Amino acid sequence: MSRIAVVGAGVGGLAVAARLTALGHRVTVFEQAGEVGGKLGLYSHTTAAGTFRFDTGPSLLTMPWVFEDLFAATGDPLAEVLSLRALDPIADYRYADGARFGTCSDPAEFGARLDAALGGGAGAQWARFWDRAERIWAATRGPFLESPVHGFGTLARQAVRMRDLAAIAPWRSLSGLAASYLSDPRLRRFAERYATYTGSDPRRAPAALAAVPYAELAYGGWYAEGGLRTLAGALAARCPDVRTGCAVTRILVRNGRAAGVELAGGSAIEADLVVANADAEHLYGSLLPVPSQRRRIARATPSLSGFVLLLGLRGRTPGLAHHTVLFPAGPYSAEFDAVFGDPARPAPDPVLYVSAPDDPAVRPDGHEAWFVLVNAPRHGTGPGAIDWRAPGLAEGYAQRLLALLAERGLDVRDRIAFAVHRSPADLEASAAAPGGAIYGTSSNGPRAAFLRPANRSPVPGLFLAGGSAHPGGGLPLVALSAQITAGLIGPA
Ligand SMILES: Cc1cc2nc3c(=O)[nH]c(=O)nc-3n(C[C@H](O)[C@H](O)[C@H](O)COP(=O)(O)OP(=O)(O)OC[C@H]3O[C@@H](n4cnc5c(N)ncnc54)[C@H](O)[C@@H]3O)c2cc1C
């Protein structure tokens, strides 16, 4: 049995702690915030009508088997702990020309919906893209998503072994792949948008990201009754020793090995192994400076961040799906030019994403709780960042987004019971995520996957589990990161 200190109680930290506990180790999780969950956050607001509860981070759960495996390995099965609901549509996509379709996990039905909404053989176009996406998924799932990597060499060797290197086309971007299969510009936008699920620009992200829509549509999009946030509580219940309000200031090293953590206030906690769930930039930049790792992270483009509106609304919106995506009339590229630009700026006309769960547990009767998300440049100074704390900036942008919602057919301004906004600066503060980057580094550029920190650090006894490490961000990948790390550490 090893004593293991886990830095951070995000999903990655909780998942690895639950797995390592089940493997017989003595695990303590240290979380700087007052509650567990990290980016999987909760915001509650009570009015005379009742209480609104918002997921402030993830609103869509994909690849549910990853969580079924996690729960089965650590205690009662998932189905006995959380109530997952399959969504249909997974999301309602709306375009400026009035076209609209809902995604679903039945390929034939989805093809028929595309034909009905877009015409012009859209279903057949998508079917050809889908076949390619399936081949990419099959080639990358085991060797990449579910396996550790140890830097460029291993990953390159794994890539060479992959059965279908031609399918992955490492030289190609997601936009390029979409353009070669999808002649309908609306379908191209639909496919390109999935790059943002890894914090990236589809024009620079690799074609391999076609695996993202494949995984979502093949295995469905899911909601956890009561809010996705309930996942964090269910995982925390499997970790016997979680200490919130406990910031780690340093990883202790003795004889060249990670030997514990130092907490704010100065107390030292000894451990045989340390697992960092904290963002890798924070880890290698300040908790345990490792210049080579820091330089490697600096070579990658940071992930985009998000600007969020939380709206408590009176009344109900006819025909509103659980998730709605509202595309702008103008070119999609403008959003990425703004968000990843130098200088960066808030996108003036971004895609709007609305999540409005029809769940009595999260909104009072006769009301709706809307989470509205747009991609945003990260917070900070220097290239690609902006100071979201600049007077009036976030407030003004929140008003702009309400006006855009109205322009695109969802005018809720006279129904607002209350509204709150959260900028990248708020995300940085709440989850200790540098710049409020959602996914650590982005997948921009063909080398991005090689630059993402490995789960086993170069410092003996120090491991990483979380969205800024391999294999990446998003709830299922973070849980896979924890699975890989627990596998590297092994049983007590
Ligand atoms: C707005 C938004 C929308 C999203 N939508 C989706 C979605 O729909 N579906 C999806 O799958 N994913 C989504 N994601 C991504 C998903 O939330 C993340 O990939 C995932 O939650 C990251 O988990 P993590 O454990 O890697 O990191 P985090 O959640 O960032 O956890 C890291 C934890 O470490 C703690 N920590 C950091 N430094 C220290 C320290 N020094 N001492 C102690 N504790 C420390 C932090 O406080 C934090 O709790 C979204 C994220 C955001 C922000």
pLDDT tens digits, 49-73: 999 999 999 999 999 999 999 999 9
More confident residue, 197 or 166: 197
Whole-number Å distance, alpha carbon 231 to ligand 1 midpoint, is 13
Ligand 1 nearest-atom number relative to CA 33: 47
Q: Domain boundary at 164, 189, 219, which?
A: 219
pLDDT, tens digit, 9 for 90 and up, residues 302-341: 999 999 999 999 999 999 999 999 999 999 999 999 999 9
Chain centroid, CA 468 distance in Å = 10
Structure confidence at residue 149 (pLDDT): 76
The span from the CA of 151 to the CA of 321, in Å, is 42
Look at residue 168 in the predicted model and tell me its pLDDT.
84
Q: How many CB atoms lie within 10 A of CB 134?
A: 16
Is 138 in the same domain as 192? yes
Report if residue 307 sits inside a domain: no
What domain range is 242 assigned to?
3-40+226-300+444-489
Question: If you measure from the C-alpha of residue 33 to the centroid of ligand 1, how many angstroms do you get, rounded to a whole number?
Answer: 12
What percent of the chain clears pLDDT 70, i.e. is strictly above it?
A: 97
Q: Which of 461, 382, 424, 492 is nearest to 39 (CA)?
A: 424
With tokens 């400076």, the residue in question is 289
Sign of CA dihedral 485, 480, 440, 37: negative
Looking at the fold, whether 139 and 195 belong to one and the same domain comes out as yes
Question: Cβ(438) to ligand 1 under 6 A?
Answer: yes
Distances (CA, A) of 102 to 43, 94, 317: 28, 9, 17
Q: Where does the pLDDT of residue 426 fall: very low under 50, low under 70, confident under 90, or very high at 90 and above?
A: very high
209 & 276 share domain: no
Q: Is 166 within the bounds of a domain?
A: yes
What is the structure's pLDDT at 146?
A: 87
Average pLDDT over the chain reads 95
Residue 153 has pLDDT above 90, yes or no: no
Q: Are residues 259 and 214 in the same domain?
A: no
* Residue 94 included in any domain: no
Residue 472 pLDDT exceeds 90: yes
Per-residue pLDDT at 363 exceeds 60: yes
Whether 254 maps to a domain, the answer reads yes
User: Does 50 map to a domain?
Assistant: no
Tell how far the Cα of 356 is from the centroid of ligand 1, in angstroms: 21
| Distance from residue 449's CA to the centre of ligand 1 (Å) | 19
- State in Å: Cα 39 to ligand 1 middle: 3
Q: Is 432 in the pocket of ligand 1 (CB under 6 A)?
A: yes
Query: Per-residue pLDDT averaged across 211-236, rounded?
Result: 97
Q: Which whole-number Å values give the CA distances from 150 to 154, 158, 205, 454, 457, in the listed order?
A: 6, 11, 22, 6, 9
Tell me: the pLDDT tens digits for 28-42? 999 999 999 999 999
Angle between helices 122-140 and 107-118 (to 10 degrees): 140
d(CA 472, CA 477): 6
Q: What is the pLDDT of residue 50?
A: 96
Same structural domain, 274 and 258 = yes
Q: What is the mean pLDDT of residues 398-413?
A: 98
Structure tokens at 71: 């729960």
Residue 344: both structure tokens together: 């960066």
**Residue 465 domain-assigned (yes or no):** yes
| Centroid of ligand 1 to alpha carbon of 124 (angstroms) | 37
Q: Is residue 97 part of a domain?
A: no
Residues 449 and 465 in one domain: yes
Is-contact 186 118, C-beta < 8 A? yes
User: Are 173 and 252 in the same domain?
Assistant: no
The domain boundary, picked from 219, 252, 273, lies at 219
Which residues neighbour 80 within 8 Å (Cβ) at sequence distance 6 or greater? none
Ligand 1 neighbour 436 (Cβ under 6 A)? no
Q: Is the CB of 13 under 6 A from ligand 1?
A: yes
* Model confidence, pTM: 0.96
Which residue is it, tokens 């940071």?
302
Residue 475 beta carbon below 6 angstroms from any ligand 1 atom: yes
Q: Which of 170, 188, 219 is the last residue of a domain?
A: 219
Q: How confident is the model at residue 156 (pLDDT cuts 50, 70, 90)?
A: low
Residue 22 predicted with pLDDT over 70: yes
Residue 313 lies in a domain: no
Q: Does 230 share its domain with 201?
A: no
Using CA positions, which residue lies closest to atom 45 of ligand 1?
Answer: 8
Confidence of residue 163 (pLDDT cuts 50, 70, 90): low
How far is the C-alpha of 39 from the C-alpha of 58, rounded, in Å?
8
pLDDT digits (tens, 9 = 90+) for 80-126: 999 999 999 999 999 999 999 999 999 999 999 999 999 989 999 99
Judgement on whether residues 205 and 238 belong to the same structural domain of the protein: no
Of 148-152, 221-225, 252-256, 452-456, which gets the smallest average pLDDT?
A: 148-152
Cα 282 to middle of ligand 1, angstroms? 13
Mutate to test the pocket of ligand 1, among 219, 269, 277 (most ligand atoms within 8 A of CB): 277
Domains identified in the chain, total number: 2
Q: SS3 sequence, the chain?
A: CCEEEEECCEHHHHHHHHHHHHCCCEEEEECCCCCCECCCCEEEEEECCEEEEEECCCCCECCHHHHHHHHHHHCCCHHHHCCEEECCCCCEEECCCCCEEECCCCHHHHHHHHHHHHCCCHHHHHHHHHHHHHHHHHHHHHHHHCCCCCCHHHHHHHHHHCCCHHHHCCCCEHHHHHHHHCCCHHHHHHHHHHHHHHCCCCCCCEHHHHHHHHHHHHHCCEEECCCCCHHHHHHHCCCCCEECCCCEEEEEEECCEEEEEEECCCCEEECCEEEECCCHHHHHHHHCCCHHHHHHHHHCCECCEEEEEEEEEECCCCCCCCEEEECCCCCCHHHHHHHCCCCCCCCCCCCEEEECCCCCCCCCCCEEEEEEEEEECEECCCCCEECCCCCCHHHHHHHHHHHHHHHCCCCCHHHEEEEEEECHHHHHHHHCCHHHCCCCECCCCCCHHHHCCCCECCCCCEEECCCCCCCCCCHHHHHHHHHHHHHHHCCC
Q: How far apart are CA 278 and CA 10, in angstroms?
A: 8
Mean pLDDT of 485-491: 97
- Cα 107 to Cα 60, 158, 213: the distances in Å are 19, 30, 12
> Do 183 and 253 share a domain, yes or no?
no
Q: Kindly indicate the confidence band of residue 430, based on its pLDDT and cuts at 50, 70 and 90.
A: very high
